[in-house]
Amino acid sequence: MTSTTITSSSLLKKLTPEEVRAYLIEHPEFLAENTALIESADFSGALVDKEGLPDFQRYRMAKLQEDFIALRVEHEDLMDLMQESLQRQNRIFSAILALLDSPDFESTLRLVGQELAEILEVEAVGFFFETGGWLDQGDYAYLKVVSPGKVARWLNGGHLVMEEVENGLEELYGEHADKIRSQALLLIEIQEGLPPGLLALGHADPMYFATGLATEQVECLGEVIARSLRRFLRK
């Protein structure tokens, strides 16, 4: 092996595919002047002409068609995602309008604990507050009162959890728990001095809440629920 061969081999080891590609793009005449490279290249995935040689024009057209199909699929997926986001937004807006029209405290509790699942088109809704002197622990008509610290444990110390689950917790969703595959758990704080609450939304689609779509809308819904209850407690 000559010193020239050794030097060329060393240079080739230092070259990256990106550098080679960049060079060929900047020097399109290179392949035309070095046809031996084309003859030795592997075009096993390319179309061939009648003489068994790679047909670059047909290969390029086929590649463009593949790229177009991929782009169209991506576009359709994006449109589906936007449509789903718009539908979620409309459902939450409908819930907010219903809350604003709620005439009293009990009606607001009934709306959240009983009617919200149908408005939002989710499988189940759980509505909870911790006991703290204003309600005894137990199940009421439209909400459950749980022991102190329960809400924080459900939320892992945060204020919002949106995730995929294998099964919903029975203590959150009752008889609908086995249908739940994703959930949104949201802290509800009516006012300072009152125990914290929790809104649990459960859906059968594993990705419905796990994608993180509509996070701000879910938070907005929670704030409207808190304000709706707060206005009646002040009277």
Q: What is the pLDDT of residues 167-192, one digit of tens each?
A: 999 999 999 999 999 999 999 999 88
Is pLDDT of 51 > 80?
A: no
Using a pLDDT cut of 90, give the percent of the chain over it. Answer: 49
d(CA 196, CA 144): 12
On whether the pTM is more than 0.75, the answer is: no
- CA distances (Å), 156 to each of 147, 152, 167, 171, in order? 16, 6, 18, 16
d(CA 147, CA 226): 20
d(CA 215, CA 220): 9
Query: Per-residue pLDDT tens for 109-158?
Result: 999 999 999 999 999 999 999 998 677 899 988 999 999 999 999 999 89
Query: Per-residue pLDDT tens for 68-116?
Result: 787 777 777 677 777 887 888 899 999 999 999 999 999 999 999 999 9
Query: Per-residue pLDDT tens for 191-203?
Result: 888 899 999 999 9
Task: Give the pairing type, strands 124-130 and 138-139.
Answer: unpaired
DSSP tag of 64: H
